[in-house]
Amino acid sequence: MVRIAIVSDTHLPRGRRRIPAAALARMRAADLILHAGDLSAATVLDELEALGPPVFAVAGNVEEPQVRMRLPARRVVEAGGARIGLVHDAGAARGRLARMRAAFPDCDAVVFGHSHIPLLERDEAGFTIFNPGSATERRRQPHHTMGEATVDDGRLTFEIVPLDDDG
């Protein structure tokens, strides 16, 4: 089984705000980390890479030039027999599931960010789109959140994880 920690929209550094300890612990315990963009600074990417598991990230719309130079706008990650598309902005809610299916036709799921709104949605064939929300900037959401996924024999499952409001 492959365990995946999923974050997006960290928007750091910003004042005294940090990635919550609970999120860092889950990332350290994962087999790999996905970040769906808006890290903001290269230091955040460096911090995530120092946690241990491999980090696969994409650039968002607020990245410093150093981050945009290091990260693609979209990518596909293979884990445990599953293929996961990764992009920052999946566009408007209306038609999003079909649009992401068309944009990543060989993937089992697409992870995205941008809205800071946690989302887990599947079509009838099992194709999934997933937004982990934000562990650091919840905006109007009731909790800071991140995501976790597992891949077991190619079967991919996602979970939205509420975090203590220490972020």
- CATH number for the domain including 17? 3.60.21.10
Q: Per-residue pLDDT tens for 109-139?
A: 999 999 999 999 999 999 999 999 999 998 8
Q: Which helix (H) or strand (E) holds 42?
A: helix 42-49
pLDDT of 75 over the 50 cut: yes
Look up the pTM and report it.
0.95
Q: What is the pLDDT of residue 167?
A: 41
Q: What is the pLDDT of residue 165?
A: 55
Separation CA 27–CA 33 (nearest Å): 6
Separation CA 100–CA 88 (nearest Å): 12
pLDDT of 70 over the 80 cut: yes
Mean pLDDT for 72-99 is: 97
Residue numbers of the domain that contains 137: 2-163
Q: Per-residue pLDDT tens for 7-62?
A: 999 999 877 888 999 999 999 999 999 999 999 999 999 999 999 999 999 999 99
What are φ and ψ of residue 37, in 5° steps?
95, 165
* E strands present in the chain: 2-7, 32-35, 55-57, 74-79, 82-87, 109-111, 119-122, 128-131, 144-152, 155-163
Q: How many domains does the chain have?
A: 1
